[in-house]
Chain A
Amino acid sequence: MKSVKADTTITMPPGQRRRGPRLLRQMAKRYDLYLMLLVPVVWYLVFHYGPLYGLQIAFKNFNPAKGILGSSWEGFGHFERFFDSYYFWRLLWNTLSINLFSLLIAFPIPILLALIINEIRNKTFSKWLQNITYIPHFISVVVIVGILNVFLSPTSGPVNLLIEAMGGTPVRFMEEAGWFKTIFIGSNIWQNMGWQSIIYIAALSGVNPQLYEAAKMDGATRLKRIWHISLPGIAPVVIILLILDIGHFMNIGFEKILLMQNNLNLESSDVISTFVYTTGILKGEYSYTAAIGLFNSIINLILLLLVNRIARKTSETSLW
């Protein structure tokens, strides 16, 4: 309570020490800031907390005519059905593995790219490289998958023509379960590395140039400079971005996976989010898929908390 008192004495003009709705008075005084805050708060309430009320259908048998409140309770039945489902392990494994592999492979690449761009002396070339790598980011997912289909087509795609010219047999890239994850993650890297590297480049430009000069004087090689100055310089940014990435770990790439999916690669492309779409929206099983979605979000939350905790323990940087 002491600190609170100290607080009031700072914000209150002397002589106005009436007890009462302190918060309201504070708000009246800083009304302009609170008005600004109102916009995001309302946005969060309406679009992020409001819909939480609908989550209860995961424990109900949702019937649109009766509404959310009027539907009968089911308990954990939908969860049990999902855990007992033949596809449960496959869905879980695909969801986790696709995201884990993307994280392992796709996460470091923008950092490397940023370091390379930062090291290039020729400014024209480095700008050129930066532009080339980030332009694909603006292509829509539908077009990307279209491009993949054309390039990897077994009959007319340039990739397979090349393979054939070298004496190999054409590979049906889009229809083989074994290739799915490689193509998905590979094209993601191609599309997004330039865009994601921007933030690292910005962080690199914030590193004090005197450090580089001092290191140079002491005879540090270029690699050593990267290792001991550039990397530690951007480490906090890297960690924050990593945690943010984990934040949508389970939901990444839904549209793209759905577009690339077919019966032949379903073995490795069937993930929780596409399963929710096909059974929930297309077959109208709202309660069942709400339960699956909730399960998905809970895993995600656990992962986020875990990574944040590890980050806080091992380094100074963390989200909270």
Chain B
Amino acid sequence: MRKHWGRNAIMTMIVSSLMLAGCSSDGGSKKEAAPEGSENVVHTTGFPIVEQAVELKMFTRIAPVNGPFKEMPVFQDYEKLSNVKVEFIEAPTDGFQEKKNLLFASNELPDALFRSGLSPLETVRYGSAGQLIPLEGLIDEYAPNLKKWMEEYPEIRSGITTPEGHIYAIPGIVTLGAARTDKKWINQKWLDKLNLEVPETTEELYQVLLAFRDGDPNGNGKQDEIPMTARIGLSVVSAMSGSFGLDTQLGYNINIENDKASIWMGSDKNKEMLMYLNKLYKEKLLDPEIFSHTEAQYLAKQGSGNAGFFFDQTNNNFLSIQDQYTGIAPPAGPDGDRMQSQALPIARDFGAFAITSVNKYPEVTMRWIDYFYSDEGSTLLRFGREGEHYEMKDGIPYYTEDFLKDITNQAKITPYAGGGAPHLISEQVASFINPPQVQEAQQKLDPFMPEVRYAAPMFDEQTAQQVNILRNDIDKYYEEQSTKFIVGALSFDKWEQFQSTLKKMKIDELEKLYQDAYDKMQK
């Protein structure tokens, strides 16, 4: 029987190799068409961008609040204006990360990625693999608006350029300070009712929260108030860390002092903060559902008026009861630290747009996206059609009252709702997200904003991989243990063990990699 076994094995191998050959042969054939746009003129200024209509496929993320992209006025109108037809492949926010990675792993690439939220590691990885094309040359020639911003704010360029000098993805640019940080909203109605002052320190905040819990400020006779809440997970840490002298530089848990970058996860100040949060959690001042509620539930808590203290960028989620809340400054911590450390860099949404190697019209694509980095383009993207969706008052677009009657319409017509869209957010286009109340709340924070905000550095591929390996273990450990410290599942006696485990996971090595990246940036 042995002979037959051999024959069977050979047959199996032949059959399977034939099938595999069939599977893998389509990979190489995609690139064959050379840019046929040679006779199709690409204009460097003005519209249309091209004489003959061009079609592009873009992969994008669609948030739960959005309507289909092809029905958004911005893309309908812009198609007529630019002569570029864009077909969007929409992936919902849930599972988007998974779909995006599979796109690259299977090498079935679209022409471009719109609102892609690529991480620095992903851009370096896919860029050096040749799946994303370098954009720095295209930006110089075909993106006058973007180029202007990069000249005005040099940190944008340093934040998106790899050590080899390539730019593989362009960010969303936010020149409006208020859009780069969450405001601290407190329930003014409850403060008034209980005759309390706005808390200035963390200790006063604690007293105020106690009063919120016990004083029945909503007057229904039941102890059902939520004194303090936040987005799911450790977002409460980034919201409060400034009061304990903990910053978020370089896109990580890093303080920079005298040109020295130090990771603060194992520091005593972090312990102090976690102990404070643990105290709030234990006494039911911090929402017990903070590690389990969904985004929708969190927003509903804001809108119900039954929350005492929480964090959000805008007042959009409690517009109907907006007078009840007011923005406050960060409270000063036990050591007198008073910082709004939760502030994002100007290139806020990293990796928002990228062009892939299968794109036949990279120039056209670059010009297409560049429009959204102008006030005019951003207005189109954020506000839709003049007259139908918005009207101009003093040169600034406002949604019409008619259109806002059904508030859910607003997010349906614009791809900015849900975050991460590649475009410009400036004062000019912020009437909706930055109404007077939000401006006021921002003014309270302004004195405590960090002077410079360093974005996450770009590492070269090898270092990026090293950072990734280290951070995979460290971040997971840090998040899990911090959560346990806060809810009290882990006692602070174990703090030294926590520190030594971080050491074991080579946190010092990670710190050094960030230090090197910082030094390079300073040069």
Contacts and interface: CB of A to CB of B under 8 A. Distances in A.
B131 A64 contact: yes
Contact of B125 (A49, A174, A284): A284
B264 interface: no
B151 to A, nearest CB: 32
Interface stretch (B270-278, B379-387, B399-407, B479-487): B479-487
Interface residues of A, number: 36
A49 B104 contact: no
A86 B504 contact: yes
Nearest to A52: B16
B489 A64 contact: no
Contacts of B16: 45, 49-50, 53
A177 B489 CA distance: 9
B428 interface: no
B34 interface: no
A267 B483 CA distance: 12
Contacts of A64: 104-107, 126, 129, 131
Contacts of B487: 175, 264
Contacts of B468: 283, 285
B11 to A, nearest CB: 10
A284 B19 CA distance: 26
B282 to A, nearest CB: 13
A23 interface: yes
B473 A87 contact: yes
Nearest to B100: A284
Nearest to A170: B288
Most buried by B among A46, A65, A176: A65
Interface in A21-60: 23, 45-46, 49-50, 53
A286 B12 contact: no
A4 B2 CA distance: 12
A286 B288 CA distance: 37
Contact of A284 (B20, B101, B289, B292): B101
B12 A263 contact: no
Contacts of A174: 292
Contacts of A266: 480
B15 A45 contact: yes
B487 to A, nearest CB: 7
Interface in B3-40: 4, 7, 12, 15-16, 19-20, 23-24, 27
Interface residues of B, number: 46
A319 to B, nearest CB: 20
Most buried by A among B1, B24, B105, B505: B105
Contacts of B101: 281-284
Given A23-B4, A49-B16, A262-B291, A86 B107 contact: no
B105 A286 contact: yes
Interface in B107-134: 107, 122, 125-126, 129-131
B129 A63 contact: yes
A15 interface: no
A23 B484 CA distance: 66
Contact of A65 (B107, B477, B479, B480): B107
Nearest to A46: B19
A264 B483 contact: yes
Contacts of A67: 24, 27, 107
A86 B501 contact: yes
B100 to A, nearest CB: 9
B412 to A, nearest CB: 27
A87 B4 contact: no
Given A65-B130, A86-B505, A284-B105, A49 B97 contact: no
A208 interface: no
A172 B504 CA distance: 32
A41 to B, nearest CB: 9
Given A46-B19, A87-B476, A283-B468, 6 more contacts: A23-B4, A23-B7, A64-B107, A65-B357, A154-B288, A281-B101
The 8 A-B residue pairs with the shortest CB-CB distance in the complex, in nearest-first order: A65-B129, A263-B483, A284-B101, A64-B105, A65-B130, A65-B131, A63-B129, A64-B107
16 contacts: A23-B7, A45-B15, A49-B12, A50-B19, A67-B27, A67-B107, A68-B24, A86-B501, A154-B288, A172-B288, A174-B292, A264-B483, A264-B489, A281-B98, A281-B102, A282-B98
